[in-house]
Structure 1
Amino acid sequence: MALYEGIALIQEKQAVVLDLGSEYTKFGFTGEAAPRCIIRSQFWCSTERRFKKVYEYSTPEELYDNLVNMLHLLYFRHVLVNPKERKVVVVESLLTPTLFRETLAKVLFTHYEVSGAVWADSPRMCAMTLGAPVTLVVSLGAREAEVAAVVHSCVVLRAVQAQPLGAAAVRAELLHLLRQDCGPDLHLPDHVLEDITVKTCFVSPRARALRWQSDSPPEPARSVRYPLARLGAVCVSGRARELAAEPLFRRDNELASLPDIVLQCIMQCPIDVRRALAANVLLTGGAASLPGLRARLSQELAHLCTLPPYSSRLRLGEFKFHRAPAHDMSCAWLGGALCGAGEAGGGAGGGRLLSRDVYCRERRLRDWVNLLDNTPPHHPQRDHLDLTL
């Protein structure tokens, strides 16, 4: 046996990083700058003879089968590695349902028999790519927008905000505008609407958006023709291109627009970190790639700070936005790759690692909403929690 082959057998192999989103999945190895694959979160279901999404389930058993098929696609078609030889870093949202987390752990440890796994929340992983002590992470995913404040590697849980203002809201508004221009009978699948949004849509400045709401609208942008396989082509007007992203900034009585939840998150944080949060905003997610979004969000935030209820509680300076050293879609994945490579090479997280032996004994995961995991060992109520939970 050659010397380098013996060293390769002794060394622990790189862990894999899994970011299983509702629309796209990022998968790759720790220590690398980008995922090995970014694919849709779907697989070919042989029983139903169609492509089925991972999050399309009605029972825990169906979710288990979906995750088994999805991970088989990732491990054996896209990266070609043995799951038993690699630890896993799972990057997830803070609002991931408990059923999904526990089912994923069951699939990893019992079906694929991975040796260990680390569950890492996406806000801290995004902040890790910057190296800043205080970061305000604004994540625009496929379905919802999440805003979380990361202060010295800790997420301020009481300040986390979430609203259904993701890419799905932009696609729904785009379809509504296209039907106004092309007729109410226009039907386009989600992947076509997504492609139209990426290739043609942009976010207007605040002054121009206000003119669209007035009696004297501005001169619209140039219209474009989007070719379709069977319908020939659809005309995307300049008005539809500009106004598709307006639902993100549309205010209502509940103050649930994207700028509102950003300011509400800052208000819920300690007063001594609010200026630092405003100066370290990180916009991530697939919908964050829309041209003009950062400039428009900065303008809206500066304007809302002069209105109640924020004018009496916030004294913020200028809002500054960071650019992560990765694509907006894979920022959280890159943080997971750094987390997994930071300790013991491929050891994937050191003390936070959940080994397969420990999981097989306890059959439970640590969760920030569980008092048993958040109560210190010497707390007077700890014994009572051990008995009740």
Structure 2
Amino acid sequence: MALYEGIALIQEKQAVVLDLGTDYTKFGFTGEAAPRCIIPSEYWCPTERRFKRVHDYKNEEELYDNLVHMLHLLYFRHVLVNPKERKVVVVESLLTPTLFRETLAKVLFLHYEVSGVMWADSARMCALTLGAPVVLVVSLGARDAEVVAVVHGCPVLQALQSQPLGARALHDELARLLDRDHGAELHLPERVLEDIKARACFVPSRQRALQLAGAGGEGGAAGVTPARGVVYTLAERSLLVSGAARELAAEPLFARDNELASLPDIVLQCIALCPIDARRELAANILLTGGGAALPGLRARLAQELRHLVTLPPYSDRLRIGEFKFHSAPAHENCAAWLGGALCGAADGGARALARDAFVRARRVADWPSLLHTTPPAHPHWAALASD
């Protein structure tokens, strides 16, 4: 046997990287440039005779069953590896519910008996792909839009912002516009709305959006020429997608109200809550990630909105920023967090992974909102927290 073959036999196998999103799941190996599979976060439920989403659960037992079936699909149909032989890097949001994290840990350690699991937050993983010390990560997921400032490898938790401005908000607006154009409720399924958004919708400039708003969203009434409509073919009939629907579907991201909860607002609020010496650098290192970030024109429109809002109160009194710059992720926007997890897992080598025997003894997963894991062991109340 050649020497290099013997070394390969004793080396530890590549860990797998799991990014279990609300709508789509990315799964692959560390050290690789792209996931092996990107599939919907659902599985065929034999008892209910339908496709069931992983995140649709009522209690811990139902979530446990969902995760067991989903991981079985990933391990034994898409990548064909033995879960006991490989560690796992779990890429997740900072706002992932504790119940979901602990249940996923039980499934991985007790059901599939993996040797170790490392949890990595998606914001730091996205910043890792750039190699920049200060990055403002704007993630547009299926349900929420999250803005996290990563300063020298640490997320600024006090500045974290989140609003329900994900893909579902765009789908609801697109469905409303299509119903208005056709004069009836179409009741289009989520997958059809997503396909129409990906194929036909785009984000106009700020000036054109104001013109369309002045024309009542129709165009023509104020001298605004609407975009060309397209025909979307369904299985049973064809559907006309008007130019107004194509352009205005993403307007919920920029609609302002008294709570200042639009996407540009939460970006500026996150910057304003960060240390003053990092604000300019954060504005110059913005990274858009998530499936919603792939919408054409979104980056340019967000830059225009930020340059406009920073001159208005309450931001004009706190921020002295005149320029906003955006990074281009080294991977597709929806895979940036997964790629960071693959890089982190390859560089770490599993040293920071929670071992299976340690989890079996304590049955606890370190979580930043937990007082037990944020309180020093020398604190007088630590023993009482550990006993709870």
The aligned counterpart of 2:210 is: 210
State whether residues 17 and 336 of structure 1, in contact with CA within 8 Å, keep that contact through their aligned partners in structure 2.
yes
How far apart in 2 are the matches of 1:68 and 1:10?
A: 30
The aligned counterpart of 1:260 is: 265
How far apart in 2 are the matches of 1:208 and 1:189?
A: 30
State whether residues 371 and 385 of structure 2, in contact with CA within 8 Å, keep that contact through their aligned partners in structure 1.
no
5+ residue gaps in structure 1?
A: none
Deviation at 1:213, TM superposition (A): 1.6
How far apart in 1 are the matches of 2:213 and 2:30?
A: 48
State whether residues 368 and 374 of structure 2, in contact with CA within 8 Å, keep that contact through their aligned partners in structure 1.
yes
The aligned counterpart of 1:342 is: 347
Q: Does 1:111 align with 2:111?
A: yes
The aligned counterpart of 1:225 is: 231
Partner SS state of residue 172, structure 2: helix
The aligned counterpart of 2:79 is: 79
How far apart in 2 are the matches of 1:217 and 1:375?
A: 62
How far apart in 1 are the matches of 2:102 and 2:128?
A: 25
State whether residues 283 and 323 of structure 2, in contact with CA within 8 Å, keep that contact through their aligned partners in structure 1.
yes
State whether residues 134 and 281 of structure 2, in contact with CA within 8 Å, keep that contact through their aligned partners in structure 1.
yes
State whether residues 22 and 41 of structure 1, in contact with CA within 8 Å, keep that contact through their aligned partners in structure 2.
yes
Deviation at 1:387, TM superposition (A): 5.4
Equivalent position amino acid for 1:64 in 2:
Y
Deviation at 1:186, TM superposition (A): 1.2
Partner SS state of residue 56, structure 2: coil
The one of 332, 337, 342 equivalent to 2:337 is 332
How far apart in 1 are the matches of 2:78 and 2:123?
A: 27
How far apart in 2 are the matches of 1:185 and 1:152?
A: 50
* 1:316-371 Cα shifts (integer Å, max 9, x gaps): 1310000110000010000000010002xxx33x1x21000000000000011112
Distance 1:222-1:341 versus aligned 2 partners, 3 A rule: same
The aligned counterpart of 1:365 is: 365
Q: Does 1:290 align with 2:295?
A: yes
Deviation at 1:212, TM superposition (A): 1.0
Partner SS state of residue 119, structure 1: strand
Deviation at 1:4, TM superposition (A): 5.7
* 1:56-93 Cα shifts (integer Å, max 9, x gaps): 11111010000000000000000000000000000000
Equivalent position amino acid for 2:295 in 1:
L
State whether residues 159 and 271 of structure 2, in contact with CA within 8 Å, keep that contact through their aligned partners in structure 1.
yes
State whether residues 304 and 310 of structure 1, in contact with CA within 8 Å, keep that contact through their aligned partners in structure 2.
yes
* 1:229-250 Cα shifts (integer Å, max 9, x gaps): 01x2100000100000000000
Partner SS state of residue 342, structure 1: helix
Aligned residue pair count: 382
How far apart in 1 are the matches of 2:28 and 2:383?
A: 42
How far apart in 2 are the matches of 1:113 and 1:103?
A: 14
The aligned counterpart of 2:16 is: 16
5+ residue gaps in structure 2?
A: 216-221
**Where do residues 1-389 of structure 1 align in structure 2 (5 Å cutoff)?**
6-215=6-215, 216=222, 218-230=224-236, 232-343=237-348, 347-348=349-350, 350=351, 352-378=352-378, 380-381=379-380, 383=382, 385-386=384-385, 389=388
Equivalent position amino acid for 2:225 in 1:
E
Deviation at 1:137, TM superposition (A): 0.3
State whether residues 372 and 382 of structure 1, in contact with CA within 8 Å, keep that contact through their aligned partners in structure 2.
no
* 1:240-295 Cα shifts (integer Å, max 9, x gaps): 00000000000001000000000011111111100000000000000000000000
State whether residues 278 and 317 of structure 1, in contact with CA within 8 Å, keep that contact through their aligned partners in structure 2.
no
Larger displacement relative to structure 2 (73-82 or 365-374): 365-374
Distance 1:337-1:223 versus aligned 2 partners, 3 A rule: same
How far apart in 2 are the matches of 1:10 and 1:273?
A: 45
How far apart in 1 are the matches of 2:172 and 2:86?
A: 40
How far apart in 1 are the matches of 2:201 and 2:335?
A: 21
Distance 1:226-1:275 versus aligned 2 partners, 3 A rule: same
Structure 1 runs (4+) greater than 2 angstroms displaced: 1-9, 375-378, 380-389
Distance 1:383-1:95 versus aligned 2 partners, 3 A rule: closer
* 1:89-113 Cα shifts (integer Å, max 9, x gaps): 0000001001000000000000000
State whether residues 26 and 333 of structure 1, in contact with CA within 8 Å, keep that contact through their aligned partners in structure 2.
yes
* 1:180-206 Cα shifts (integer Å, max 9, x gaps): 111223121110110000000000000
How far apart in 2 are the matches of 1:296 and 1:88?
A: 38
Deviation at 1:17, TM superposition (A): 0.1
How far apart in 1 are the matches of 2:386 and 2:9?
A: 45
How far apart in 1 are the matches of 2:34 and 2:107?
A: 25
State whether residues 203 and 293 of structure 1, in contact with CA within 8 Å, keep that contact through their aligned partners in structure 2.
yes
How far apart in 1 are the matches of 2:60 and 2:133?
A: 39
% identical equivalent positions: 71
Partner SS state of residue 130, structure 2: coil
TM-score between the two structures when normalised by the length of structure 1 = 0.96
Partner SS state of residue 319, structure 2: coil
State whether residues 376 and 382 of structure 1, in contact with CA within 8 Å, keep that contact through their aligned partners in structure 2.
no
State whether residues 118 and 354 of structure 1, in contact with CA within 8 Å, keep that contact through their aligned partners in structure 2.
yes
Equivalent position amino acid for 1:39 in 2:
I
